[in-house]
Structure 1
């Protein structure tokens, strides 16, 4: 069982160092300062024979702390498309959740300017008993749109999925690709200021991926900033203007996508091939 970090105390006083001008900044989309996030995990320790006899066979619960992010700091100017690379367990998704306001830092501060629409977990909150069209409406409401706004966009989003008559069938009958299409379509039609994408570009077949990439390009031109986590280093190079590399929760490098990806691949000691740049 994993216990998330304790959120800040409600009603705590605002940081007096943050001025009104700071709260209304137009040059930055996000700022991360000395952010650390620690998870506390409990597990059952296997007792020795002697301990089992003393404790009548009961195990002993132990607590382990996992430091997912360690004093990470960076700024994201307006207009930036930031790629985030790193191996599994590097802290990429944790960082994205902190930027989205889902996960409070254990220490440090995360500031963002603008409304975020996330593709962090496609379809979270969908009801499999409802149709795709009904979940389009549900997803729009969950993203903070008004009932009127959702009704205006529902048909457009449903058509964009290209699911035809399946859009009115229960989502429990969908394949994983069809499910991802609905979830992706809802997320990219929310007109966000900050677009955050965590491994969501593989939704659907080749035709739909091309369509999804085109939509992402369109959104990137309108959003204040885009954040992309992907093992597809080719996508990072193609879609991002800047990149950061995380390793075991630490920020290793920030720079151009070409420079960061090259250093990351050297660190992994892998050669550049079509396969390695597509999925590392």
Structure 2
């Protein structure tokens, strides 16, 4: 049997509504840290599903229902309070896309740093460098400090670098909502290429057109729970019907 690309079992994570009332050492040693406090809430709870290699999954739900939290758990950015996440292989995360770039470093230095941190060998970074810069359309700014780029340039550079990673799983969180129309079309074509090459896609979006274009299966989150796991058309139909009644 093929090992799942992503396996989520009984997943739960909770957050504080505010920072008051921090836990004392006495609380921690007494084991009371596992009990919910009045100022805590569960962003996700008892979520389970599997994603097979090469699947394209769209995650839908209203704002604040746990979509981005789920993506960060899969990426390893957050740790769960209950259950677990198993990921078979590395991930290429298009999450908070310009995060991790260093303002005082040049574009050239940031490309080398970011790609290297994701495990791309130095020789491979050098081989792909010109393609990354060309895709981002910032060839005149290679030796410019990153902090002096426009927001559009930063987004283009980040997408270009991360989409060049050879990781088998692509995590995408609303990144296609940014940039101008021409660049979005370039992003669409790049994702099409990655899917044709057999990559696994885990895609959070409010854009129904994008979800239908890239995804075959959907996960509908509501109130931090997995309400429906079904073909993307069925998930969108259910989500739209629920939204119309609220």
For the criterion TM > 0.5, the same-fold answer is yes
Which residue of 1 is the match for residue 42 of structure 2?
Answer: 67
Say how many residue pairs are matched. 230
Which residue of 1 is the match for residue 77 of structure 2?
Answer: 102
Partner of 1:254, secondary structure, is strand
- Verify the 8 A CA contact 1:84 1:246 in the aligned structure 2: yes
Distance in 1 (alpha carbons) for counterparts of 2:86 and 2:116: 25
Q: Residues 169 and 63 of structure 1: is their aligned pair in 2 closer, same or farther, counting only changes over 3 Å?
A: farther
1:134 to 109, 112, 129: 109
Give the superposed CA RMSD: 1.8
Distance in 1 (alpha carbons) for counterparts of 2:38 and 2:116: 38
- Verify the 8 A CA contact 1:181 1:203 in the aligned structure 2: no
1:38 maps to 2:14: yes
Deviation at 1:42, TM superposition (A): 3.6
Distance in 2 (alpha carbons) for counterparts of 1:115 and 1:169: 30
- Verify the 8 A CA contact 1:242 1:257 in the aligned structure 2: yes
Larger Rg: 1
> TM-score normalised to the size of structure 1?
0.77
Which residue of 2 is the match for residue 216 of structure 1?
Answer: 191
> TM-score normalised to the size of structure 2?
0.87
Q: Which runs of 5+ in 1 are unaligned?
A: 1-24, 46-61, 271-280
Q: Which runs of 5+ in 2 are unaligned?
A: 22-36
Distance in 2 (alpha carbons) for counterparts of 1:105 and 1:140: 27
Structure with more contact order per residue of length (Cα contacts < 8 Å, sep ≥ 6): 2
Which residue of 1 is the match for residue 236 of structure 2?
Answer: 261
Distance in 1 (alpha carbons) for counterparts of 2:178 and 2:19: 35
